[in-house]
């Protein structure tokens, strides 16, 4: 069960609660090895009429998969993508409920590997991703002001 809600920020394109052009996605993890988001992409983010833009789908996977580093309650363990490989299997229609999933493959030390999927309502995997992650560089992490970022779990 994915009932552990993860934080959002104020301005992030994917999770930013105050970003006027953002997706406003929310994320939940199972406390062990998986993060999910249930989401319906608005028509505003189409490429071909009726189809979600591949760059938007890639951004959604980048965020979701990287969040595996926060599973288990360490909401300040930020990792970033070093390599992201995306495979588009099927078009994703706008205004259709989808599930975006990130799964741990291996997290050890400052590096990790994870995979992701965007799943259509009928269970079809429309998009797959593999990611190599690394801890956020110390000079960036040390300067982060969590209050200014608005980084917290919304009730």
Each residue's pLDDT, cut to its tens digit, for the chain (155 residues) gives 889 999 999 999 999 999 999 999 999 999 999 999 999 999 999 999 999 999 999 999 999 999 999 998 776 778 899 999 999 999 999 999 999 999 999 998 899 999 999 999 999 999 999 999 998 887 777 777 767 777 878 87
Give me the pLDDT at residue 1, please: 84
Within a domain: residue 73? Answer: yes
Within a domain: residue 41? Answer: yes
Give me the pLDDT at residue 151, please: 80
Expressed as residue numbers, the domain containing 33 is 4-142
Give me the pLDDT at residue 83, please: 97
Give me the pLDDT at residue 35, please: 97
Give me the pLDDT at residue 53, please: 98
- For residues 29 and 35, give the distance between their C-alpha atoms in angstroms, rounded to a whole number: 4
Within a domain: residue 154? Answer: no
Give me the pLDDT at residue 132, please: 97
Within a domain: residue 148? Answer: no
Within a domain: residue 153? Answer: no
Q: What is the pTM of this model?
A: 0.93
Give me the pLDDT at residue 136, please: 85
Q: Which residue carries 């050890």 as its tokens? A: 108
Q: Check if the beta carbon of residue 68 is closer than 8 Å to that of residue 115.
A: no
CATH code of residue 112: 3.10.129.10
Within a domain: residue 147? Answer: no
Residues 6 or more apart in contact with residue 29 via CB below 8 angstroms: 2, 4, 6, 35, 36, 67, 68, 70, 71, 72
Within a domain: residue 150? Answer: no
Q: Check if the beta carbon of residue 94 is closer than 8 Å to that of residue 55.
A: no
Give the count of domains, the chain. Answer: 1
């Amino acid at each position: 069960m994915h009932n552990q809600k993860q934080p959002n920020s104020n301005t992030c394109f994917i999770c930013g609660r105050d970003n006027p052009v953002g997706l406003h996605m929310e994320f939940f993890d199972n406390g062990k090895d998986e993060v999910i988001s249930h989401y319906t992409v608005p028509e505003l983010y189409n490429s071909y009429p009726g189809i979600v833009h591949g760059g938007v789908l890639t951004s959604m996977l980048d965020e979701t998969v990287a969040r595996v580093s926060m599973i288990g309650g360490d909401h300040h363990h930020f990792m970033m993508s070093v390599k992201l490989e995306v495979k588009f299997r099927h078009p994703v229609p706008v205004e259709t409920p989808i599930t975006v999933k990130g799964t741990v493959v291996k997290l050890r030390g400052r590096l990790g590997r994870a995979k992701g999927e965007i799943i259509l309502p009928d269970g079809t995997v429309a998009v797959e991703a593999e990611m190599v992650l690394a801890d956020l560089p110390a000079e960036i992490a040390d300067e982060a002001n969590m209050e200014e970022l608005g980084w917290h779990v919304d009730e």
